[in-house]
């Protein structure tokens, strides 16, 4: 079900700056006036995952957000002694259980529009609480896509 919400050009530009140019670590998106997905916060390249989570929840317990993060971790293939550094972009839909039903529905139905406009994201994650959005949970989901 499409919501009719559009994605602003600045969302796409910021995404390209993260994906290609590695200018930022993350970006938080929000739906402005129930009509357009727009950029709320851009995280500097040296910011940590905790800062991303803080900004994702900055709107309060009743607010949903989308977050795109350039996640880095080390991966060791079986049979090798060398560990390699990996980077994966993930897009998170943050809709806490405490958000109003109408808002959750709007964010849920608009997630596809954002997915389609941000080509090249490796993983989509839906989180309703911090256990699903934690660095450990996200890393586990990203590692599950690695070759052993």
| Torsion 111-113-118-119 (CA) sign | positive
| Integer Cα distance of 132 and 140 in angstroms | 11
Q: Are strands 6-7 and 65-76 parallel, antiparallel or unpaired?
A: unpaired
Place of tokens 């607010």: 63
pLDDT at 126 over 90: yes
What CATH number labels 6-145?
Answer: 3.40.20.10
Q: In what order do the strands lie in the sheet with 123-127?
A: 6-7, 36-44, 24-32, 65-76, 83-94, 123-127
- Domain ranges for the chain, please list them: 6-145
pLDDT in tens, 8-52: 999 999 999 999 999 999 999 999 999 999 999 999 999 999 999
pTM of the model: 0.92
pLDDT in tens, 56-86: 999 999 999 999 999 998 877 777 777 888 8
């Amino acid at each position: 079900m499409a919501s009719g919400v559009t994605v602003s050009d600045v969302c796409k530009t910021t995404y390209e700056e993260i994906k290609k140019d590695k200018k930022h670590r993350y970006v938080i998106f929000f739906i402005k006036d129930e009509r357009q997905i727009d950029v709320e916060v851009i995280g500097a390249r040296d910011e940590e995952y905790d800062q991303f989570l803080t900004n994702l929840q900055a709107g309060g317990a009743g607010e949903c957000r989308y977050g795109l993060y350039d996640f880095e971790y080390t991966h060791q293939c079986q049979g090798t002694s060398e560990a390699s550094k990996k980077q994966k972009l993930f897009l998170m839909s943050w809709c806490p259980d405490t958000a109003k039903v109408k808002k959750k529905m709007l964010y849920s139905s608009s997630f596809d529009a954002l997915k389609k406009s941000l080509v090249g994201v490796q993983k989509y994650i839906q989180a309703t609480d911090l256990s699903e959005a934690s660095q450990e949970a996200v890393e586990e989901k990203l590692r599950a896509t690695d070759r052993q």
